[in-house]
Amino acid sequence: MSKINVIGLGYIGLPTALMFASHGVEVVGTDYNAELVNTLRAGKTTFDEKGLDELFANALNCGIEFSTEYISTDMYIVAVPTPYDKKSKKIDPCYVVAAVKKVMEVCPKGATVVLESTVSPGTMDRFVRPIIEENGFVIGQDINLVHAPERIIPGNMVYELEHNSRTIGADDKAIGEKVKELYKSFCQGEIVVTDIRTAEMTKVVENTYRDINIAFANELAKICRSDNMDVYEIIRIANKHPRVNILTPGPGVGGHCISVDPWFLVGDYPGLANIILAARKINDSMPEFVLKRISAIMREHGITDPAKVGIYGMTYKENVDDIRESPTMQMLECMQKHLAHGVKVYDPYVTKDIVENQYHDFDKFLNDVEIVVIMVGHDEIKAADEKLKGKLILDTRNVCKLEGVYKL
């Protein structure tokens, strides 16, 4: 095999490219963002992730290359974003389409195109196959098409790349087995070979299952709040049943997987994805629910100035720098609609100014607010009970151990 061309060097593509390179595969990583490519060429990673710097150093030693150009080779791995249209709820395949079109300009006959991006069932049939055929290639003879959806989560990407199971969807089982052998260069988990449509559906179903279970916990939190019950104590006791495992409620669902993928099924199967739609609505409603809790606490203590409120945490989960679809960003957008200005924001993992009144010093942030709303359970806030004494605290993650803390 000649070099693999990994297309898209974001949260999924970069770790994947580095992992292949570190395990003896020749890799060229391609991204249209010249600044990103130049940063990687300069020997620096582009986001924080446990173990990523070490993996990057190994990949550099093994000869990985970075470019804004697509190369002619016999294996492409496409790992570009797959957003959804917020009106239709259907997948927006524009990045996938653009990447595959560029691949078609340089790829030789016999090449295999592997799509790692998560897509809705049927995306390969509706959008990818036509591009290949329009360029004069016969799928299965001139070009092999494979779907190998990623299964990793920020904060533990490197470990999960090596240990999680994977699904390889291919038209031809022999091609699927060939791609399986490639991924086995680093993947220690079970690798299942199936057809493309099944691989598409399986990945979306995995994240939808998690979204529905989170929604149940969040709806339970709303029910308990309406009747002044402790949802955490109720869940703790209920989970003692051997067949019950209720998740912990929170301020919403973020990230580019759980908060996005279920919409693919809602958009593609209207009238059928009813529980999925209800779950999405519940989880999307949580940031506004938190806002109502903040307002109630302000009224209870006679606080009228939003500038006295401090939002702790901007990322979608703890100990990462990923803010995509985060509940905090959703809540701040909702605040703008309600003309609430002056709220202060702090996150130790977000080093660039991206919102108004953003702080970069934890102590100064605490000094300037009366109410602290914990939106993300970073390790920093879990160890900050002494600093939080004397503050009004709304803990949406159930991580603060002080007495008198407000909960969801």
The set of catalytic residues is 203, 257
DSSP class per residue in 274-296: HHHHHHHHHHHHHHHHHHHHHHH
Helices (H), 124-195: 129-134, 157-163, 173-183
Let me know how long the chain is. Answer: 408
The torsion angles phi and psi of 12, rounded to 5 degrees, stand at: -100, -50
Sorted by sequence, the CB contacts under 8 Å of residue 193 that are 6+ apart come out as 168, 169, 170, 173, 176, 177, 180
Count of beta carbons in the 10 Å neighbourhood of residue 362: 16
Count of beta carbons in the 10 Å neighbourhood of residue 60: 17
User: 388 is written with which tokens?
Assistant: 């939080």
> What is the number of alpha carbons within 13 Å of residue 402 lying toward its C-beta?
22
| Cα–Cα distances in angstroms (integers) from residue 375 to residues 16, 104, 247, 317, 345, in the given order | 30, 44, 17, 9, 10
Count of beta carbons in the 10 Å neighbourhood of residue 301: 12
What's the CA gap between 350 and 364, in Å, rounded?
16
Residue 276 CA from chain centroid, whole number? 18
